[in-house]
Amino acid sequence: MSSNLRRFDKRFKSPSLLALNIYIMAIDLKPILKESKILEFTNKKYGKSEPIDKVICTDPYYRFSRIVEEVPFKDHHEDEIWLDLGCHHGQFLELVEKVFHYKTIGMDDWDLKQDLGFTNFNYYKTDLADDKWVQLVGVNKANVISALEVLEHMIDTESFLQACSSCLAENGYLVISTPNINCLRNRLIVPFGKYPAYLEYKNIIHHVRLFNIETLSKLLQENGFVVKKITGVKFLPERILRYSFFEKISKILARFFPSLCGNLIAIAQKVN
C-alpha cells in the first residue's frame, strides 16, 4: 500500500460521512497511485521521469476535505453542475461527486483523458489563461466553480474572475484556494532577509500573483462577487495533522487566524 493510502488508513477512522467518502475516494483513485501509470503520464506531460515520491503530493486531499467542510451548501445537488478549473487528476471532483452528487466537469491544460481514461467526469483540455474555455461550458451554467491553486498563476486575474462570473448560474458560488503572502512563515523569515515563500523571482511553477486576505477580498468584490468566507487551509504543519488532536487545533486556529496560514480558502457568491 502506498504511503498516501497508509495516511488515509491512519487518519480516517471516524465513521462520519465525510471521512467515509474521502476514504472511498482514495480507494477509487488507486489506479492514479500506481507507479507505472504516474510515470507514464508525467513522462508525457513533462517530458522526463521523476522519482515516484516527487510525483505524488504529500497529501493533496487535505485541502479538498477542508473545502468540503467550509462550503455553506451541504445537500445533494444531482441536477446541478460543479466546474473545477485546474482539476489536475480529478481527485477533488471525485470527492465532490461522492459527497454532494453534483454533475462534475473538469478543465486543465493537458491530455488527462488520454493518460487517465478511467476517470468518469467530463473533461476539457483548455488554456485557462484566456477566456476561450468559457465557450466549453455552454448554455448550462455552473452552480459552483472551484479554482484551487489557480489564481496565483493568472497574469490577468480580473479577466479570469469575470470569465468565472459569466459561467456561473444565478447566485452561484466561486471557491478559491491560493497561497497567502502574509503567512506566519513569511512574517518570520522576511525580516531576516530571506526571500518570501510562494513568490517566484523566475518562472518555476508560474506564481505570478500573490494575495493576502485584504487584496483577495478586494479583487473578488471588484469583479462581481460577495465574499462569504475566507479561512485558512491549515495552521499547523501537515505532517502532524494525522493526529486528530492536532488536526482539530489546526482547524480552529485556521478559522480564527486565517491571515497567518500558508494557504487561504475563499468562498464567494456571484452578485446578480
| Residues paired with 71 in a beta bridge | none
In the prediction, which pLDDT does 118 show?
52
Neighbours of 118 (CB within 10 A): 10
Per-residue pLDDT in tens (0 to 9) along the chain, 272 residues: 333 333 333 333 333 444 434 443 443 444 444 445 545 544 554 454 554 444 333 344 578 889 988 998 877 778 899 999 998 878 888 888 888 889 999 999 877 665 555 567 888 999 999 888 999 998 889 999 999 999 999 999 999 999 999 999 999 999 999 999 999 999 999 999 999 999 988 888 889 999 999 999 999 999 999 999 999 999 998 778 878 899 899 999 999 999 999 999 999 999 87
In the chain the beta strands, taken as DSSP E runs, fall at 81-85, 103-108, 122-125, 142-148, 168-179, 225-232, 263-270
- Reference 199, options 150, 131, 253, 152; nearest CA is 152
261 neighbors 233 (Cβ within 8 angstroms): yes
DSSP 26-73: HHHTGGGG-HHHHHHHHHHHHSS---HHHHS-S-THHHHHHHHHH-S-
SS3 160: helix
pLDDT tens digits for 35-55?
Answer: 455 455 445 544 545 544 443
pTM: 0.77
Beta strands across the sheet bearing 103-108: 122-125, 103-108, 81-85, 142-148, 168-179, 263-270, 225-232
- Reference 116, options 57, 45, 24, 37; nearest CA is 37
Rounded Cα distance between 217 and 250, Å, is 23
Give, in degrees to the nearest 5, the angle at Cα 10 between 185 and 96: 75
CA atoms within 13 Å, Cβ hemisphere of 14: 11
| Residues paired with 76 in a beta bridge | none
Residue 127 burial by Cβ neighbours in a 10 Å radius (0-12, 13-18, 19+)? exposed
- pLDDT above 70 covers a percentage of the chain that reads 75
